[in-house]
Amino acid sequence: MDRKPDFNRLEGTSRDFALEVLYYCHEKGMFAHKALTVAAVGKTGEKASRSATTEMSFGSIRRLISLDRAISQASGRAIEAVDPLLADILRIAVYQLLYMRKEASYAVVDSAVEQAKRLIGKGASGFANAVLRKVAAAGFALELPDPGSDPAAWLSVAESHPLWIVEDWTERFGMEAATGMCRYDNETPPAFVRVNSMKLTRDELIDRLAEKGSRPAPGGISPYAVKLPSWDSVASGDAFEEGLYSVQDQSSMLVAEMLAPKPGEFVIDMCAAPGGKTCHAAELAQDGARVLACDSNAKRLDLVGQNARRLSLKSVETMTADASKLHEKFAGKADAVMADVPCSGLGVLSRRPDARWRKDPSQAEEFAKISSSILDSAAQCLRPGGRLVFSTCTVSERENEKQLEDFLSRHHDFFPVPLKRLETLGISGEGSGYAQLLQGIHESDGFFIALLHKSN
């Protein structure tokens, strides 16, 4: 049942704002960030805090399994039997009680009960009061599966991830790593920026950002990365407008670095938008390479040009194109190719609060087929002796290691190249030619990267 809040009765508080976000996400199927944007229309900001709303709504979406379990435990009723609007009111409040803890428990309970009464009625407020008082009680603890007999089920509920994801991660990476990955997904990811090495050094950028009262620090994986204490104004301010840095996670900075483009080379970025890797490649080649950014989405491709202009890069070109057909125009012409292919995105769940609930095990095979055709096209675009970096922002074996294995079985003129610097960091296996970064374990998103050379 679609139980829409009576928007005339919303009072503009952060709690009401967050409830709108959950309504658009749960009942209308919007992605969480889009739901936040839609709900924000017309908000004056006088009562509602955007940051508080974001944490309450996104946290409630991320923690859905845990919250629904707590509500059912406290009410003795399956969550499916609770009015959808009331369920969302309870989710927000239970999230505050169990995970935010920035407001006194009695204030959270009173505010949520009042909200239920105002938007639904007296019966709903009585039910909310009973449930939330139980959750707020000192002795309340979320009942979890036994970690000894079923560790995957325990982790699925404790850290609110679909069971099939947890089972895969615990089997492949071990319980400790899987736990760290899930916990990372439930937090706002750290903010990283990439220094524009054509304009200044990383240390100089750190000094410049520190002048504004920030507390920047060097990233531990990429020599071009600077870690910032928060996302506040990260894509604004003088240093950003002057093109001194780009917003990019450390993991994706590795793509252009491993490719190591040089002046005079022809470089193709096959799935380029919004252009972080494209621009990094141009910077590393000192704006002396021809760097062609391709993407099938013309509107997103415009962002590549905007970023290049802000960074004062003149070597970047853009072309709207299907990546799987680029070889028809550029067969044997490229010196280096970046193929950051479409994927299931299991390495960036922290950035997309609702993504974990939209994933399905079958998607890995679907994305693998798409990326396979793109990689085949990349292989044909390269001249003999050329270089290919294949990457994804997922931790799926089918899309990563098995994809690489399948590619090498089809293309005997390609061979993997050891990622020496990543080997010294313990990220890449010795001589393997690829690295699987894990969110929460490495200082980055979950990310796969492989470097391949084409024989002369």
Distance (Å, rounded) from C-alpha 437 to C-alpha 416?
17
Q: How many residues belong to the chain?
A: 456
- For residue 418, count CB atoms less than 10 angstroms from its CB and return exposed for 0-12, middle for 13-18, buried for 19 or more: middle
Q: At residue 424, does pLDDT exceed 90?
A: yes
Kindly state the tokens that stand for 311: 């960074």
Q: Find the helix or strand (DSSP H, E) in which 358 lies.
A: helix 355-358
Q: At residue 400, does pLDDT exceed 70?
A: yes
Mind giving me the DSSP string for 250-307?
Answer: HHHHHHHHHH---TT-EEEETT-TT-HHHHHHHHHTTT-SEEEEEES-HHHHHHHHHH
Distance (Å, rounded) from C-alpha 97 to C-alpha 103?
8
The arithmetic mean of pLDDT across residues 373-401, rounded, is: 98
As a whole number of angstroms, the longest Cα–Cα distance in the chain is 77
Q: Looking at 229-238, 335-344, 383-392, 416-425, which range is the least confident one?
A: 229-238
Q: Looking at 10-19, 168-177, 314-323, 344-353, which range is the least confident one?
A: 10-19
Residue 435 CB-half CA count within 13 A: 30
Query: Looking at residue 85, what is its pLDDT?
Result: 94
The CATH H-level (homologous superfamily) assignment of domain 250-454 is Vaccinia Virus protein VP39 (3.40.50.150)
Q: Find the helix or strand (DSSP H, E) in which 367 lies.
A: helix 363-381
Q: Which CATH architecture has domain 191-247?
A: 2-Layer Sandwich (3.30)
The arithmetic mean of pLDDT across residues 333-353, rounded, is: 97
Which residue's entry shows tokens 């009111």?
89
The arithmetic mean of pLDDT across residues 235-262, rounded, is: 96
Average pLDDT, the chain: 94
Distance (Å, rounded) from C-alpha 456 to C-alpha 454?
7
The arithmetic mean of pLDDT across residues 22-32, rounded, is: 94
Q: Where in the chain is the domain with CATH 1.10.940.10?
A: 7-136
Q: Are 213 and 437 in contact (CB under 8 A)?
A: no
The amino acid at 216: P
Q: At residue 405, does pLDDT exceed 90?
A: yes
Cα-based distances in Å from 210 to 200, 204, 205: 15, 10, 8
Q: Which CATH architecture has domain 7-136?
A: Orthogonal Bundle (1.10)
Active site residue 393: yes
Report residue 3's pLDDT band, with 50, 70 and 90 as the boundaries.
Answer: low
Q: How far apart are the first and last CA of the chain?
A: 63
The arithmetic mean of pLDDT across residues 78-100, rounded, is: 96
Query: Looking at residue 59, what is its pLDDT?
Result: 96
The arithmetic mean of pLDDT across residues 86-105, rounded, is: 94
Q: At residue 212, does pLDDT exceed 80?
A: no
Q: What is the pTM of this model?
A: 0.93
Q: Are 221 and 449 in contact (CB under 8 A)?
A: no
Helices (runs of H) and strands (runs of E) counted in the chain = 20, 12
> What angle is formed at CA 233 by the lines to CA 108 and CA 344, rounded to 5 degrees?
75
Cα-based distances in Å from 340 to 92, 268, 333, 405: 36, 11, 19, 17
The arithmetic mean of pLDDT across residues 176-202, rounded, is: 96
The amino acid at 189: P
Query: Looking at residue 2, what is its pLDDT?
Result: 58
Q: At residue 5, does pLDDT exceed 70?
A: no
The amino acid at 405: E
